[in-house]
A and B are shown apart, each in its own frame.
Chain A
Amino acid sequence: EVQLVESGGGLVQPGGSLRLSCAASGFTFQTYWMNWVRQPPGKGLEWVANISPDQIEGRSVDSVKGRFAISRDNAKNLLYLQMNNLRAEDTAVYYCLAWGHVTYWGRGTLVTVSS
């Protein structure tokens, strides 16, 4: 059974940091582009970052560039999102997404940035 399980979300003050993790199982993780997509409460979807299977390519949207970093550990089937200098507008459910001929989504982890 394919599973993507996100963890690491929670309440953090503006300017703080969080590290999200996504544990993958049931598919060949190391062959998939991996992605983070977020959804602010009651709003639409926004692509945040992606990383190639071999970790050579990694990109993030301008709104998080310089603050968020995506990485992966293919030996452990783990995807990460290091989030620094968090802002109120980063409040969202963060989804892990495996992209290939088929796609797999996690259930998401909620990040709330508030004082």
Chain B
Amino acid sequence: DVVLTQSPLSLPVTPGQPASISCRSSQSLIASDGNTYLFWFQQRPGQSPRRLIYTISNRDSGVPDRFSGSGSGTAFTLQISRVEAEDVGVYYCMQHTHWPHTFGQGTKLEIK
């Protein structure tokens, strides 16, 4: 199975400051069709997850533009340009290039 390793696992951030989460894959996520099926999810406390980013860098509808994704191959990053209080929660990267689809361990973002 593809292992996704996130860092850091805990991320205390002052409001208004940037934040960055790394996701590294145990193997390339480039699919045979040339796409890279790497996604980012947010799970706020007590809520279901929601997708923020698809195929590395595309924001889902309604996602604020302070969220951005980047990377290629086996190394990916989720960046928040200016953290707000509503961003508290756990962030997961996920791949579905390979079966089984797998998630990273999660990064808990908290406000300082």
Contacts and interface: CB of A to CB of B under 8 A. Distances in A.
Contacts of A61: 100
Interface string B96-109: 00011111111000
Interface stretch (B11-19, B21-29, B45-53, B73-81): B45-53
B32 interface: no
Given A102-B60, A102-B61, A47 B102 contact: yes
Contacts of B92: 44-45
Given A44-B92, A45-B92, A102-B60, A95 B102 contact: no
Interface in B29-44: 41, 43
A2 to B, nearest CB: 12
B96 to A, nearest CB: 8
A47 B48 contact: no
Interface size band for A: 10 to 19
Q: How large is the interface on B (under 10, 10 to 19, 20 to 34, 35 or more residues)?
A: 10 to 19
Contact of A45 (B60, B61, B100, B103): B103
Contacts of A46: 103
A50 B100 CA distance: 10
A107 B61 CA distance: 20
Contacts of B103: 44-47
Given A45-B92, A103-B51, A107-B48, A62 B100 contact: yes
A47 B51 CA distance: 14
Interface of B: 41, 43, 48-51, 60-61, 90, 92, 94, 99-106
Given A45-B106, A107-B48, 13 more contacts: A37-B49, A44-B90, A44-B92, A44-B104, A45-B43, A45-B49, A45-B94, A47-B101, A95-B48, A102-B60, A102-B61, A103-B51, A105-B48
**8 interchain residue pairs of minimum CB distance:** A105-B48, A47-B101, A45-B103, A61-B100, A44-B106, A103-B51, A44-B105, A47-B100
